Amino acid sequence: MNAIGETAKVATGVLETLKGQPLAVALIVINVLFLATGIYILREVAGAQRTSSERKDQLIANLANAVASCPAALALPRGP
């Protein structure tokens, strides 16, 4: 319980100090928004990459199945 009380005292002190520094509070808010935007963009890029990778994997699997099901007579002739 003592650690929680000390943490509350520190948090209260920090908030009291920031009340006199509105520019510092604005900077903290902007930084948090910047980080949140970066995380959101990275999540979207990762999702798009995952989708693209799944599509490529499916295309390769379909191509492999199509080649495997071709009769040998339809295979391309080999060079000399």
Query: Mind listing the pLDDT tens digit for each residue in 9-49?
Result: 998 888 888 888 889 888 989 999 999 999 999 999 999 99
**In what helix (H) or strand (E) does residue 62 lie, and over which residues does it extend?**
helix 22-69
Supply the pLDDT for residue 17: 84
The count of other CB atoms within 10 Å of the CB of residue 14 is 10
